[in-house]
A and B are shown apart, each in its own frame.
Chain A
Amino acid sequence: MSYDVEIVRQGLNALFDLKGKPAAIQSWAGDVLPTWPERPNSRSGQDAVELYHIGRNHWIARAALDQEVKLGEHLRPTDCPADISIVQVSDTLTFFRVTGPHADEVMSIACPLDFHETEFSEDAVTYSELFSLKALVMRCKGGFEFAVEQSFGDMVEDYLSRATA
């Protein structure tokens, strides 16, 4: 591999798409969700559940797959009131992790975002474009993590192997 990076295509995560007023979601979800992120395009996390603020009145809750059932039981997507939307979307995204000394170089091939630490902080999370696909991008320890629509997973893997050939 020409760039000193480790690329890992991850397995499924427990993912729930949350929409609505924060107070209404919070009221329904109780304490299962972490403290709400302070600003748009940032994230918060507690007890292995992370919350990504990715749009106006729009969040994604993420946890390990083995937490999916438990989280689902707490969030009760099919029962929640009309003014909020909770949809299990665990299978919709394929996550990749790019870590290592050259992670930022590989990301600069894939994505037009400015990943400089002053522009894209530790708690940043945002939708952007990755190999021209819509992608959810964030930092992780030693590099970056991103997710694309699941059906594009093979293509992104193909792209990454070409980028690092």
Chain B
Amino acid sequence: MTQSNRHASGGRIDRGQPLRFAFNGKSYEGFEGDTLASALVANGVRVTARSFKYHRPRGIVGHGPEEPATLVELEGEDASGNRPATTIPLREGLRARSVNCWPSPEFDLGGVNQLLGRFIPAGFYYKTFKWPNWHLFEPSIRKAAGLAAAPNNPPSSGHFEARHAHTDVLIAGAGPAGLQAALEAGRAGKRVFLADEGTEAGGSLLNRNLTINGQPAMGWVDDAVQELREMTNVTHLQKATVWAYREHNLLIVNERNPEQDRIIERSWRVRAGEVIIATGATERAMVFSNNDRPGVMLASSVQAYVNRWGVTPGKRLVLFTNNNSVYAVASDLVATGIRVEAILDSRATVPQATLDMVPGLSVHASTVVGDVRGRKGVKAAKAVSATGVESWIECDVLAHSGGWNPTVHLWSQSRSSLQFDERLAAFLPDQAAQNCTAIGAAAGHLALDQIIEGGEDLAYEIEPLWRVDLPDQRGKAFLDIQNDVSVSDVHLALREGYDNVEHVKRYTTGGMGIDQGKTGNINIIGTVAMQKGVPLQEVGTTTFRSPYTPVSFGAIGGLREGSVLFPYRHTPVTQWNEDNGAVMYEAGARWRRPGYFPDQGEGLQEAVNRECRAVREGVGVYDGSPLGTFELKGRDVPQFLDFVYSNVMSSLTPGNGRYGLMLSDDGLILDDGVVFRLDDHRWLVSTSTGHADAMNQHMEKLLQTEFPDWQVMITTVTSQWNNATICGPRARDVMQALGTDIDLSPEAFPFMSFRDGTVAGFPARVVRVSFTGELSFEVNVAPRHMAALWDKVLEAGEPFGILPVGSESSHVLRVEKGFLSLGHEVDGTADAYDLGMGWVMSKKKTDYLGKRSILLRREGASTRRELVGILPDDPNKQVPEGAPLTPGGRKEATEGLVTACVWSVVNDRWVGLALLQGGHGRHGETAHVRLKDEVIPVKITKPVFHDPDGNLLRS
């Protein structure tokens, strides 16, 4: 088939650039400047789709984003789903196929649904699949649901981009009104951002034969575009849809293929001082029996195909209208030599000016279309006069116009209000909620002379017809073509009590989907109003939500894919870890840390056992750099720390430190860490890795809101200090081997103190804290020295069998000691007493954050979940972390949960921690872990399995 419907000349296409493309496996030809839809029309392809629910044959209805019927899936390098064929620019090699049909739209097995139509009205699945259980049907319904599948692979070339922009004026739409506004703002020296969804500027002028001051209107457009191009203060984008209007005049624009080879789509986040909405108007459909047959098209779309793309959708046309605009369409068709069989106008009186445009044509006033014949393509339309006279008119295209809706989506998204206008029978912009203005057709000015001085156009007049309502009507009359929502569906919803327009939408799905009801919503509202006998203003509209047209996830995500999908942080040792085979993953606050260091052939458990044994029996080293670290300065730091920590910090002397808990307002544990006093007015606070930023905000918030007069200055120094923590019985040997001017003896350098000096030749601050329960030296240096220090530590430690230790082993070692972990034992419900840490709750201080709450709670009689150790009766039995404990292992309410369970190399068995109701008083008893298939008995113990007196860490 070779473009049998293509005109020999005319249209805004380049006949010198033929393009080959494939649709449903067949090869066709179009031209540069075509859309997929116009090329299909040119090639005489009538059945292009099947409907969503009933699988009725469908053809192309519109010519732009309003297209409700022909959704396609693109294949190959364009792979994407559910794209309206009217919005896809044709290119060489394009491959597309229809969605929602198999094997083809011409012959679709799903068409059997048409026979079941009467049994599957709106809402049938809500009622039908309740019994015996929704979940019985859910898998198969989910499998059948949806249209095209998401592409299996990312685009083979190019990438998505998201960028920000700022402008004085954003103008959505480069039709006559938008261009005029851009010229005025640009000439005034404002920063202008003009975005239009079409491939070229002009809006409706591209489709119509209008004049301005006697000259072709497109000449005016060309001049305007040229003038804008010369203004450095104007950004003018085509193929760029303003799809979202957010708070504070933030608008999001999706620009397609800004640079063909490199950027697939670019998302602009534009902050505008002022927004001008010049989005034009959308023609709406007429509602009559079988108004979805292939060949039933919007009149303005027929006009667009003829004028813009030089194709004729049919040879014999009938037009059906309730307004003037169809007469200009008929005039253009006649001028092109297309046969117009009749114009059926539902109005009793047709204005003379419109009749003058179509001399010689057969115009039938007070006449509607009662039915359409032709299952896979229109063959005839039934004209029914007001007196009931019926006649079939043979035709192959029925072009219809139910009037025009100002495209108020962005206006409404801005939360600005709408008002129904009786004269235009449409909702118009009313009160602006943000600094925005609607102009042109979007504001209800539907004729060119209302927009551009010198513009010549037919006046717009309409008598609304929300649906054709005839006695003995047969065949479905669709309100929403895309979702197969008919008049009877809306009537059913109303009968069942869903009479709010939002409920009607959800019950019927009318107005949902890819097109968001651009051609049909108003008819649903009209049908509801007719049925309820109320004005349309009272029915109102459903909420307009973004996106205005579909937007790919790629455009929203921008560059965020692959390695930068999530943020990540490195320490200077990250590269060494990766080079040495560490299994890396995120370990809080976006730090990528080594989980464990497997030797060749080793699994996780073997590697962790080896690392733990090194720490318990020899020496290990881990990179502790990610711990949150803050330097606090000021005279009021002591009282501030006494307030944010539950124990006393102010009594610390320079050089010494103390472990403490930060509590929340409700007395629960927020974070734990160590505080060191550097000198009289300088303090160092360390927090957990994952909560570092939150703790910084917590402290700043308190200072700025509760204690603005206190002199406390906080500086984040997490990344000013990195540390290699050397831990294990041989740690002191390794420190000596490294070389240091610090006296490492336990007497001179006791536990919970720090010393400044040099280690391995680097300026260092060495801290004696322990998160493993072993003798530890935390060697802090500037990051610029960290990689070199790490190498030296491993070199110095080699004679002692030093091993690098990952976070998995750190977890094991802390469980053996019963040290708490945020997210495990600290689960947002536990307080310090629950964890057996009453010693950290000061009895001396008059107040500290959370004190009142915790005292109130402790005065209550409720039994608390308390931290205990657990030993499975079978020492080789692992208990899953998070597993519930129930009384006797029975199917009853839980009495606790397992917070951790690890293989302990020093105990040669599995050991665990749990939060258990009344746990402190149940040591020696047996508790039961209840799993899906078994019950595991565990002995309740103290929550410490190694060096209970802490002699090793103080050694």
Contact = CB atoms under 8 A, between A and B. Distances in A.
Interface of A: 2, 12, 17, 19-20, 78, 82-85, 87-93, 105, 108-109, 111-114, 116, 119, 131-133, 149-155, 158-159, 162-163, 165
A110 to B, nearest CB: 9
A131 to B, nearest CB: 8
B243 to A, nearest CB: 18
Contacts of B718: 92, 151
B631 A82 contact: no
Contacts of A20: 713
Question: Which DSSP category, helix, strand, loop or mixed, fits chain A's interface?
Answer: mixed
A108 B569 contact: no
B7 to A, nearest CB: 40
Given A19-B713, A162-B559, A91 B163 contact: no
A87 B715 CA distance: 7
Contacts of B567: 132-133, 152, 155
B217 to A, nearest CB: 34
A92 B591 contact: no
Interface in B160-205: 161-166, 191
B159 A85 contact: no
B605 interface: no
B71 to A, nearest CB: 32
A151 B713 contact: no
B570 A153 contact: yes
B634 interface: yes
Interface in B690-730: 711, 713, 715-720
Given A2-B262, A82-B681, A159-B559, A109 B163 contact: yes
Contact of A85 (B570, B715, B719): B715
Contact of B634 (A85, A88, A92, A165): A85
Name the 3 nearest CB pairs between A and B, nearest first. A85-B633, A114-B166, A151-B569
A114 B271 contact: yes
B564 A155 contact: yes
B783 interface: yes
Give the bracket for the number of chain B residues in contact with chain A: 35 or more
Nearest to B561: A162
Contacts of A109: 161-164, 558-559
Among A105, A111, A149, A150, the most chain B Cβ lie within 10 Å of the Cβ of A150
A131 B161 CA distance: 12
Contacts of A150: 719, 783
A116 B633 contact: no
Given A112-B164, A154-B570, A165-B159, A78 B635 contact: no
Contact of B711 (A82, A87, A90, A155): A82
B633 A82 contact: yes
Among B563, B569, B571, B718, the most chain A Cβ lie within 10 Å of the Cβ of B569
Contacts of A2: 259, 262
Contacts of A91: 719-720, 782-784
Interface string B143-168: 00000000000000001011111100
Contacts of B191: 116
A151 B571 contact: yes
Contact of B164 (A83, A108, A132): A108
Contacts of B626: 151
A85 B683 CA distance: 11
Interface in B633-656: 633-635
Contact of B719 (A88, A113, A133, A149): A149
A39 to B, nearest CB: 21
A60 to B, nearest CB: 11
Given A151-B570, A151-B591, A154-B570, A116 B166 contact: yes
Contacts of A85: 631, 633-634, 713, 715
Given A78-B682, A84-B633, A91-B719, 19 more contacts: A82-B711, A83-B634, A83-B711, A85-B633, A87-B717, A89-B715, A89-B717, A92-B718, A105-B163, A108-B163, A109-B163, A109-B558, A113-B164, A116-B191, A133-B567, A162-B159, A162-B564, A163-B161, A165-B262
Contacts of A82: 633-635, 680-681, 711
Contacts of A92: 716-720
Contacts of A159: 559, 564
Given A111-B164, A149-B719, A158 B563 contact: yes
A132 B564 CA distance: 11
Contacts, number: 108
Interface string B250-262: 0000000001001
Contacts of B558: 109
B308 to A, nearest CB: 33
A163 to B, nearest CB: 6
B679 interface: yes
Interface string B345-383: 000000000000000000000000000000000000000
Contacts of A93: 719
A108 B163 CA distance: 5
B824 interface: no
Nearest to B261: A2
Given A112-B269, A133-B567, A158-B563, A119 B166 contact: yes
A151 B559 contact: no
Contacts of A119: 166
B719 A155 contact: no
B812 to A, nearest CB: 26
Contacts of B678: 78
Nearest to A129: B164
Contacts of B631: 85, 87
A150 B642 CA distance: 31
A24 B634 CA distance: 13
A116 B168 CA distance: 11
19 contacts: A2-B262, A19-B715, A82-B680, A82-B711, A87-B720, A92-B717, A92-B720, A93-B719, A112-B164, A112-B271, A132-B567, A151-B571, A152-B567, A152-B568, A154-B570, A155-B568, A158-B563, A163-B161, A165-B159
Nearest to B158: A165
Interface string B615-638: 000000000001000010111000
A146 B678 CA distance: 32
Contacts of B166: 114, 116, 119
Nearest to A112: B164
A91 B626 CA distance: 14
A133 B719 CA distance: 15
B720 A88 contact: yes
A25 B191 CA distance: 42
A96 B714 CA distance: 26
A75 to B, nearest CB: 13
Interface in B855-878: none
B720 A89 contact: yes
A91 B785 CA distance: 10
Nearest to A108: B163
A105 B159 CA distance: 16
A155 B711 CA distance: 36
A153 B679 CA distance: 32
A82 B720 CA distance: 21
Contacts of B259: 2
A133 B162 CA distance: 16
A114 B191 CA distance: 12
B621 to A, nearest CB: 19
Contact of B784 (A12, A131, A132, A165): A12
A119 B930 CA distance: 63
A2 B266 CA distance: 14
Contacts of B679: 78
B165 A108 contact: yes
Contacts of A154: 568, 570, 574
Nearest to B626: A151
A63 B136 CA distance: 69
Contacts of B715: 17, 19, 85, 87, 89
B654 to A, nearest CB: 11
Given A12-B784, A119-B166, A153-B570, A83 B564 contact: no
Contacts of B563: 158
